[in-house]
């Protein structure tokens, strides 16, 4: 820590009236700027050591960078913990996805570009529809997108299944429920990215299908990016969610077929 600079000589004809010779305990002699405050009836203000000032500024920059890094770390942990991404898929990345065939490489590239262009996807409400049999890597890539969106942009991501989504809405029908059906729907529309798995699983009543439609349609209208995962082929998925919804999601995104054999059982 340096001491305040000490005035060693007054301004003279050989010294600029705007500076005086000063001494810093840490950095030695320097020229200190003088601010004339005579019109205010107070002594002049003598500037501090410029090297000390630079060091203080550098320390402030370092401190703010550490605070920002700690905030991002804490916020990332919170968003991941509350994302609903299954623990089994929490560590999924694009680099960890096995893409041995052209279809797999296409799917990987589409999903990677989606994550890399997240600010544009958020702006336009861009979405993805990943369709194909179980075990083909749909959930892996969707969770890799969610993880990158959280880590790089600190955006709220929510992972859910159709059954879980419908259940969360129907739970409001209990007499002791603390929120309404609309509040439950709003909570599903709110996240910046919704990853909805098992789209096409039989959910029963027309009312339940209407709830699914209401959430998906609201997210489309509010420009909220959504990723739909389904074990159904695209045509069968359209029958489940309806042509109107499917057309809207085609309009704002890409339908990617995962039409290769399951990975499960192939790992050593």
Looking at the fold, whether 207 and 98 belong to one and the same domain comes out as yes
Domain of residue 159 covers 82-258
Provide the token pair at 17. 């009236």
Looking at the fold, whether 198 and 234 belong to one and the same domain comes out as yes
Quick one: pLDDT band at residue 115, thresholds 50, 70, 90?
A: very high
Looking at the fold, whether 26 and 104 belong to one and the same domain comes out as no
Contact 108, 94 (CB under 8 A): yes
Looking at the fold, whether 173 and 253 belong to one and the same domain comes out as yes
> What's the CA gap between 238 and 230, in Å, rounded?
11
pTM of the model: 0.80
Q: How far is CA 216 from CA 31, 95, 101, 196, in A?
A: 68, 30, 32, 10
* Overall number of domains in the chain: 2
**pLDDT tens digits, residue range 209-267?**
899 999 999 999 999 999 999 998 888 888 888 888 889 888 999 999 998 887 655 54
Does residue 94 form part of some domain? yes
In this structure, what are the phi and psi dihedrals at residue 109, rounded to the nearest 5 degrees? -65, -40
Q: What is the CATH number of the domain that holds 243?
A: 3.40.50.300
Looking at the fold, whether 229 and 215 belong to one and the same domain comes out as yes
Looking at the fold, whether 69 and 105 belong to one and the same domain comes out as no
Looking at the fold, whether 53 and 92 belong to one and the same domain comes out as no
Looking at the fold, whether 86 and 69 belong to one and the same domain comes out as no
Average pLDDT over residues 187-194: 97
Q: State residue 14's pLDDT score.
A: 43
Does residue 264 form part of some domain? no
């Amino acid at each position: 820590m340096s001491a305040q600079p000490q005035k060693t000589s007054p301004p003279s004809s050989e010294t600029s009236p705007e500076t005086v010779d000063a001494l810093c305990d840490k950095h030695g002699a320097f020229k200190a700027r003088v601010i004339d405050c005579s019109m205010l009836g107070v002594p002049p203000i003598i500037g501090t050591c410029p090297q000390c000032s630079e060091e203080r500024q550098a320390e402030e920059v370092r401190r703010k960078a550490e605070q920002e890094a700690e905030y991002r770390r804490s916020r990332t942990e919170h968003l991941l913990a509350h994302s609903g991404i299954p623990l089994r898929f929490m560590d999924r990345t694009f680099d960890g996805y096995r893409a041995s065939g052209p279809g797999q490489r296409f799917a990987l590239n589409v999903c990677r570009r989606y994550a890399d262009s997240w600010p544009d996807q958020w702006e336009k409400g861009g979405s993805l529809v990943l369709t194909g049999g179980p075990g083909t890597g749909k959930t892996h890539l969707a969770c890799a997108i969610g993880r990158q969106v959280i880590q790089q942009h600190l955006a709220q991501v929510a992972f859910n299944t159709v059954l879980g989504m419908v259940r969360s809405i129907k739970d409001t029908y209990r007499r002791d429920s603390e929120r309404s059906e609309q509040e439950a729907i709003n909570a599903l529309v709110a996240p910046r990215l919704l990853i909805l798995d098992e789209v096409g699983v039989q959910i029963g009543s027309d009312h339940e299908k209407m709830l699914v439609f209401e959430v998906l349609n609201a997210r489309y209208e509010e420009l909220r990016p959504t990723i739909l995962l389904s074990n159904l082929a695209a045509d069968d998925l359209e029958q489940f969610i309806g042509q109107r919804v499917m057309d809207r999601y085609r309009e704002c995104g890409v339908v990617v077929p995962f039409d290769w054999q399951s990975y499960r059982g192939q790992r050593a």
